[in-house]
Amino acid sequence: MIKGSIVAIVTPFDGGKPDKARFAELIEWHVQSGTHGIVPCGSTGEAATLDYEEHIQVIEWAVNAAKGRMKVIGGTGSNATAEAIELSRRAKDAGADALLLVSPYYNKPTQEGIYQHQMAIADAVQIPQILYNVPGRTSSSILPETVARLAKHPNIIGIKEASGSVELSIDILAVCPKEFLLYSGDDFINYPLLAIGSTGSISVTGNVLPEKMAKMHNLFFEGKLKESLALHYEMREMSKAMFIETNPVPAKTALAMMGKIKEGARLPLVGMAPATRQKLETALKSYKLI
């Protein structure tokens, strides 16, 4: 079981190219902070602007840096089924423990189209696969009945639910087998989803507060619910700061301010506006991160 605090890790750049050395340092920091797993090449990892070889390279770097000390879940989703299958095969060959597969974006398939897309990948690549529902980015939602159909496939082990709806998460758990895993994809409701039966979170906030995020999950699983909830509330303002502009720009800017990476995202993402940058800096100072 892949459980706990899983961080949707950023991809550092240097001179416009993925920065292997800083990436390895980030991963080592996460290992030492107790992070349970990472997702390279997700939305936060700017997968949409990585070319094909960079995409696989970043997953390989993650596997090599993690050295089996935490799980690596490669983001290999695409709105082209054939591309998703090929990326998934390459990520498996690179040593990923599992895959995260975003629902097809832009082309807005029907529920049957989403089902057939995910089933084609699951049939083609023998590796644990986690669905990813993020309607704010894909313009469509994987409905609970579609998730239930997909959950019957032995390679599809769970879903990252990033709609922001606790009710939808409850509906998914209600219709899926008890062994099917639910991961929070929205930091604002990480604890509420743990309370209804989630396995953990795939987090943006964990990029800058890895130790607190890991501890919050550990406390919950140890049955220390009040302490866990207190940490969830403690991280709330940082979670807000992570989304004052489009993810992952605030996370990458924060890590640069903390001296962890060089600042910079790929177009069409740009640097933060002065007003929001100031708000982010204030948040980081309040958490004593800078």
Q: Which residues carry out catalysis?
A: 132, 160
- Bridge-based pairing state of the strands 4-7 and 37-38: parallel
List Cα–Cα distances, 122 to 26, 86, 92, 115, 133, in angstroms: 31, 12, 12, 10, 16
Dihedral sign from CA coordinates of 188, 137, 50, 274: negative
Asked if 166 and 191 touch (Cβ cutoff 8 Å), the reply is no
CA-to-CA distance for 11 and 1, rounded, in angstroms? 25
**DSSP class per residue in 97-130:** SEEEEEPPPSS---HHHHHHHHHHHHHH--S-EE
CA-to-CA distance for 180 and 171, rounded, in angstroms? 13
Angle in degrees, CA 12, 17, 19, rounded to 5: 40
HSE, side-chain direction, 13 A CA sphere, residue 226: 0
CA-to-CA distance for 58 and 87, rounded, in angstroms? 12
